[in-house]
């Protein structure tokens, strides 16, 4: 079995989380990606919202970018930051395909920044198995936080890291959900209030020094 070598989202970093049976990579166009420099960070005062995607019935076909792959677009808000991910899913890999080969990428619509997720890492066999993140994983903890573009689209592509069944279904996401934490870009008025708050803090500090 082999892993992908060429991918439109160049692999910028590799990471294995502490959660069992899970691996992720930071994906991005290498010339533009400098750590998380492209991320639009929302102030901590802006609450993150959750977007839940039902994976039931999604099929896994070919390598990344193949026309057969199932691709979904989720409207999350222009410039919003993807701050977390969680999953509770059941997958079936049709032999000779492996559960560890079933992958999904979530990225901006231009595919220049995002994360490649393998929930069944290490399960080098076919069959049916359930996988859970065991809670919410905050992407910033692993340097994987990223922002979507001005179109506000979070793009999902389900694919196979090794194509065992040419033109056919290698696997199926039988049931479950993927949950994405989204931090929206604040309204301009919010920035104004934050600036006033910072001004007030600065003025108080100056008064203390003068005293």
Helix (H) or strand (E) holding 70: strand 70-75
Q: How far is CA 119 from the centre of its chain?
A: 12
Closest CA to 114 of 151, 66, 82: 82
- CB 142, CB 17: distance < 8 Å: yes
HSE of 7, CA atoms in CB hemisphere, 13 A: 30
- pLDDT per residue, tens digit, the chain (211 aa), is 333 222 333 222 233 333 334 555 544 332 222 222 233 333 334 567 999 999 999 999 999 999 999 999 999 999 999 999 999 999 999 989 999 999 999 999 999 999 999 999 899 999 999 999 999 999 998 888 999 999 999 999 999 998 887 778 999 999 999 999 999 887 665 444 444 444 544 545 555 555 5
- CB 126, CB 99: distance < 8 Å: yes
Could you tell me the residue ranges of all domains in the chain?
Answer: 11-186
Tally the residues of the chain: 211
Topology of the domain covering 11-186: Jelly Rolls (2.60.120)
- CB 8, CB 21: distance < 8 Å: no
- The confidence score (pLDDT) of residue 209 equals 57
* Residue 153, number of CB atoms within 10 A of its CB: 20
- pTM beyond 0.95: the answer is no
Closest CA to 59 of 175, 170, 164: 170
């Amino acid at each position: 079995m082999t892993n992908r070598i060429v991918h439109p989202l160049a692999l910028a970093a590799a990471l294995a989380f502490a959660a069992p049976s899970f691996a992720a990579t930071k994906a991005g166009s290498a010339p533009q990606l400098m750590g998380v420099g492209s991320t639009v960070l929302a102030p901590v005062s802006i609450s993150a919202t959750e977007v839940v995607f039902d994976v039931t019935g999604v099929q896994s076909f070919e390598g990344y970018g193949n026309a057969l792959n199932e691709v979904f677009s989720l409207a999350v808000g222009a410039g919003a930051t993807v701050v977390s991910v969680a999953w509770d899913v059941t997958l079936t890999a049709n032999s000779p395909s492996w559960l560890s080969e079933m992958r999904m990428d979530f990225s901006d619509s231009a595919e220049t920044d995002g994360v490649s997720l393998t929930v069944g890492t290490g399960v080098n066999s076919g069959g049916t198995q359930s996988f859970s993140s065991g809670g919410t994983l905050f992407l910033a903890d692993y340097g994987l936080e990223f922002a979507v573009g001005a179109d506000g689209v979070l793009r999902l592509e389900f694919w196979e890291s090794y194509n065992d069944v040419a033109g056919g279904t290698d696997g199926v996401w039988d049931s479950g959900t993927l949950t994405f934490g989204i931090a929206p870009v604040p309204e301009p008025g919010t920035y104004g209030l934050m600036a006033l708050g910072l001004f007030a803090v600065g003025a108080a500090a100056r008064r203390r020094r003068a005293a």
